[in-house]
Every structure is written in C-alpha cells, then in structure tokens.
C-alpha cells in the first residue's frame, strides 16, 4: 500500500494532475480477448531468454503454484445501503504439515487508526459437514479444533457462514462510503505458510492487515442489488454473471459502487484485460482514462522487467476517503487524486501478489520492491536515492512491523525509500531489475523471506549480501 500522504506525494500528484485527460470515453473495444476465465495461472515452463543487459544470467523458469493449494468457494451477498455483507465460505485445505488446529484470520476486527468501522463475525464451522469447535484466540484469530490432529496431505473441506458489518467510512481497506464499499481482507482466510505452519502475527492497525496467506484458487460469487457494479480480483466468468475465477492468487478483494469504467488490454506480455472504475460523483482532477493509461503502461513495463503479469485480468477502483492505494492480487483500491501512486500499486502485483511475503515479518519485501519498481518507471530513482533516511531507522530496513508500530512517521523513509535505496546500492539499475526477475521466477506463488531476495541478488551481484546487510536486510 502507500501511506505517502505527505508533501512529496502531494507535489507528485499535483504534477500528475496536469497530465489528466478530460475524455471520459472508454478505449475502443479490446481487439484481443482476455484469456478464458478458467485458464490456470500463466505458466512459463521453459527458461526465459536471458535479458539483453550484459551481466544478467539466464532467468530460471518461473516456479508454479502448489497443486495442493487451497481451493476457496466464496460467496458475498453485498448490501451497500445497509453496509453489510452476508458470506459463505467453503475451502478445501490440505496442510503440508501435521497440525492440531486450523486458523482463520478475521482482519476487519484488527485495531484501526481511526474509528472502528467494520466487524467480521463467523457462524458455526464444519469440517466435511461435521460440526467442530471454533474459538477466538483474539479478535482477528479464529481457531478451529476437532479434538485430533489434522494430518499432512489429507484434504479438509471447511465451511462456515460469515457476516461483515460496516458502520461508515474509514481510510482503510474495509469501508462503506455512501454508495461505494471497499472489501479487502474482508473474509475469513487461512494464514498457512507451507513448510512452516500458521502465521499468527499480531494485527498492527493501519499497516499490514493482510499478512500471510498461501497462493490459492478462488471461485468468487458476488451478489449485488440492481444499479451497482463490482470490480474484483480474478477474471469474470462469462458463463456465470457475478462469478470471478481467481486462480493462483493469495487473496481476493473487491470494490462495489456505481462506477464509470474504462477498459483496455495491456500486453504484459500476454494480454491482460484492464478495467478502471471511478465511483460516480467522486470529484477527481483526473479521469478514469488517465489512471487506465498509467496502469497499462506500468503493467507492460513491469512485465518486461520482472517477468509476465501472471493473471488474465486486473481491475482498479477509485473510491472516496482513501489516502493512497491498497493492493490485492488482481485488484487495487485507490482514493481520489492518487494518480501518483498508481505505478507503486501495480508494482505490488509482482511484489506481494505474485511473490508473497509476510507483511508483518518482512514489510520491506513488498514495499521496498514496489517503490523500486515505480521509481524507475516514473523516472524518479535519483530523487529516491537522494532522500536522507532518519538516523533512528537507518540500517533497519529489514525490521518487522513490531519494530515500526511506534514509528509510523518514519515508516515511509525506513521501509519504502530505504528499501529502494538498498536495491539501488547493488549497482546498475538494469541489473537490479535482472536480479528481481530471478527473484520473481524462483519465488513465484510462494511466501518469500529476506534470504530469498539476497540469494537472487547474489546471482547477479557477487557482493550483494554485504551490500544489502549494510541497509539492515536480514540475509
Ligand atoms: Zn505499497
């Protein structure tokens, strides 16, 4: 996400505003159809050709999603006027380690920087139609037990109903703003890290409420009253209106409202159906078309630099009362007048979306890398490099959210800017992109850790470990 609501961003936004196009019309209809909704995640089964930049090694074939990944059936009956969502969740989950419990995170119940605006409650839980015990360890952590051990490799079909209530607007990922709603990190989700177990980091308000979730497949059904639209993660299923297929995604999110939408196809490098919607009545100095063009251009740039965008569709919704952007796989939420953060949020499609990370443990892995991606795209790398990092957080880029929780004023410099500076210190920016392309290929659909990035960088820069360590990267 972006939390850069300061003067620097304001300056960027004001500059960007002059680039807006007043035309509200959509681009001509796409000439290339998006991939079928049922397509699996984009696969690269052979090694990518070596990038042309000297010193960039052949990039390995992109890793593929775990065949035993969770399969979610998620239904959301959305009531925008009432500010409620009635949900049903069924997930087939196959742990790869024995475990004595199942955990679901209920992120809307986490601490908020502003007034509490949402709550998520769950109904009785079943496993294979058999009722089981569920308890709240804390407001965001639902624990399910059967009295025995859930064995590695044995699929479990877990089901529950849930209800989300929103009381009003919040500068956050779950919010109701008049006729529009943001629904991010809004349903019970399994925080399983394959090979490790349950991720139960404490919720840290206002920072990183989506934390760890494994790559999964989602069959998402959204039911809306007449007159409302939805922009969501995943590809709309043409055979089933209101259904979205989100294959190989760590999470899904959606925005509901009365949107003016524009669409185009990005070549990143496969065709990606891009749709941008702006809530009607939002007073905005840019138009949907300006955001659309920036999304398409950044998707295409990042597809070249970091490897293909992995899904057939991307959507962005602009809704009120949000100071920046919030990323989800295949869907980005932005507030009004946030043109300047668009490429940063698109960068998260690779760094957080495709290559996952625990946002509580390793926040710089997505924020620092998205900042790098956008800085080169926007031609502002020199400005990022010149920024002076406050001494209190210098050399601490690799710290977890528990470190940053009482340093919110230093978080942008310490994690976003310093993260991009650490990458810049490696050497030639084109070779840094090469290293990130290796990182993406090796860690796609997985939850990466800081040593994974150090290893990828060391494949290109022999002294990468020492360089990154001097910024506080934990190799
Ligand atoms: Zn971000």
pLDDT tens-digit series, residues 85-137: 999 999 999 999 999 999 999 999 988 766 657 899 999 999 999 999 999 99
pLDDT at residue 372 in the model: 98
Angle subtended by helix axes 288-306 and 429-443, to nearest 10 = 80
User: Closest Cα partner for 328 from 110, 111, 107?
Assistant: 107
Distance 2 CA to ligand 1 centre (A): 4
Distance 367 CA to ligand 1 centre (A): 5
User: Closest Cα partner for 153 from 97, 213, 90, 71?
Assistant: 97
Distance 391 CA to ligand 1 centre (A): 22
User: What pLDDT band is residue 2 in, cutting at 50, 70 and 90?
Assistant: low
Is 50 exceeded by the pLDDT of residue 221?
yes
Is 90 exceeded by the pLDDT of residue 424?
yes
Domains of the chain in sequence order = 7-26+356-469 (1.10.390.10), 71-347 (2.60.40.1730)
pLDDT at residue 326 in the model: 95
Task: Classify residue 6 by burial, with Cβ atoms within 10 Å: 0-12, 13-18, 19+.
Answer: exposed
User: What pLDDT band is residue 386 in, cutting at 50, 70 and 90?
Assistant: very high
pLDDT at residue 116 in the model: 58
Beta strand 331-334 with 313-318 is parallel
- The token pair at 363 is 């926040």
Distance 156 CA to ligand 1 centre (A): 34
- The token pair at 52 is 């042309």
Mean pLDDT of 22-50: 37
User: Closest Cα partner for 73 from 240, 312, 209, 245?
Assistant: 245
Strand partners, 334: 318, 325
Distance 127 CA to ligand 1 centre (A): 36
Distance 113 CA to ligand 1 centre (A): 17
Distance 161 CA to ligand 1 centre (A): 31
Distance 33 CA to ligand 1 centre (A): 30
Q: Quick: pLDDT tens for 143-192.
A: 999 999 999 999 999 999 999 999 888 888 999 998 899 999 999 999 99
Distance 99 CA to ligand 1 centre (A): 33
% of the chain with per-residue pLDDT over 70: 86
User: Closest Cα partner for 196 from 443, 448, 364?
Assistant: 448
Distance 372 CA to ligand 1 centre (A): 11
Q: Quick: pLDDT tens for 389-402.
A: 999 999 999 999 88
Distance 368 CA to ligand 1 centre (A): 8
Q: Which helix (H) or strand (E) holds 64?
A: none
Distance 207 CA to ligand 1 centre (A): 10
Distance of CA 284 to the CA centre of its chain: 24
Q: Quick: pLDDT tens for 341-383.
A: 999 999 999 999 999 998 889 999 999 999 999 999 999 999 9
User: Closest Cα partner for 319 from 276, 282, 274?
Assistant: 282
Distance 382 CA to ligand 1 centre (A): 19
Count of CB atoms situated within 10 Å of the CB of 75: 19
Distance 242 CA to ligand 1 centre (A): 29
Distance 408 CA to ligand 1 centre (A): 14
Which residues of 8-82 form beta strands (DSSP E)? 71-79
Distance 329 CA to ligand 1 centre (A): 13
User: What pLDDT band is residue 1 in, cutting at 50, 70 and 90?
Assistant: confident
Distance 336 CA to ligand 1 centre (A): 17
pLDDT at residue 94 in the model: 98
């Amino acid at each position: 996400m972006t939390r850069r609501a300061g003067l620097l961003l304001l300056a960027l936004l004001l500059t960007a505003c002059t680039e807006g196009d007043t035309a509200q019309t959509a681009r001509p209809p796409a000439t290339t159809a998006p991939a079928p909704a049922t397509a699996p995640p984009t696969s690269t089964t052979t090694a990518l050709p070596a990038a042309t930049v000297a010193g960039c090694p052949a990039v390995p074939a992109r890793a593929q999603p775990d065949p035993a990944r969770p399969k979610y059936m998620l239904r959301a009956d959305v009531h925008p006027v009432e500010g409620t969502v009635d949900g049903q969740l069924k997930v087939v989950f196959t742990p790869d380690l024995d475990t004595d419990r199942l955990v679901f995170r209920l992120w809307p119940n986490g601490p908020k920087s502003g007034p509490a605006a949402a709550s998520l409650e769950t109904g009785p839980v079943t496993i294979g139609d058999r009722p089981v015990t569920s308890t709240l360890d804390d407001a965001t952590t639902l624990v399910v037990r059967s009295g025995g051990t859930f064995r590695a490799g044995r699929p479990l079909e877990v089901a529950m109903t849930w209800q989300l209530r929103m009381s009003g607007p919040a500068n956050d990922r779950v919010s109701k703003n008049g006729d529009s709603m943001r629904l991010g990190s809004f349903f019970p989700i399994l925080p399983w890290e394959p090979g490790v177990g349950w991720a139960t980091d404490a919720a840290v308000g206002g920072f990183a409420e989506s934390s760890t979730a494994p790559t999964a497949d989602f069959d998402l059904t959204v039911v809306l009253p007449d007159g409302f639209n939805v922009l969501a993660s995943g590809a709309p299923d043409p055979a089933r209106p209101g259904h979205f297929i989100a294959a190989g995604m760590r999470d899904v999110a959606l925005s509901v409202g009365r949107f003016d939408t524009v669409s185009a196809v990005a070549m990143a490098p496969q065709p990606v159906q891009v749709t941008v919607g702006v809530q009607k009545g939002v007073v905005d100095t840019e138009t949907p078309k300006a955001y659309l063009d920036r999304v398409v251009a950044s998707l295409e740039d990042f597809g070249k630099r970091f490897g293909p965008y992995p899904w057939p569709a991307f959507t962005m919704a602009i809704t009120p009362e949000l100071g920046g952007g919030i990323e989800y796989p295949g869907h980005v939420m932005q507030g009004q007048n946030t043109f300047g953060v668009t490429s940063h949020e698109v960068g998260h499609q690779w760094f957080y979306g495709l290559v996952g990370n625990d946002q509580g443990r390793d926040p710089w892995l997505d924020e620092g890398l998205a900042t790098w991606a956008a800085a080169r795209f926007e031609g502002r790398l020199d400005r990022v490099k010149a920024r002076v990092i406050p001494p209190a957080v210098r050399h601490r880029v690799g710290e977890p959210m528990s470190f940053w929780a009482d340093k919110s004023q230093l978080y942008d410099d310490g994690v976003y800017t310093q993260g991009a500076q650490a990458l810049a210190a490696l050497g030639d920016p084109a070779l840094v992109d090469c290293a990130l392309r290796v990182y993406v290929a090796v860690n796609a659909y997985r939850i990466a850790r800081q040593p994974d990035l150090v290893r990828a960088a060391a494949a290109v820069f022999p002294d990468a470990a020492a360089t990154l360590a001097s910024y506080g990267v934990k190799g």
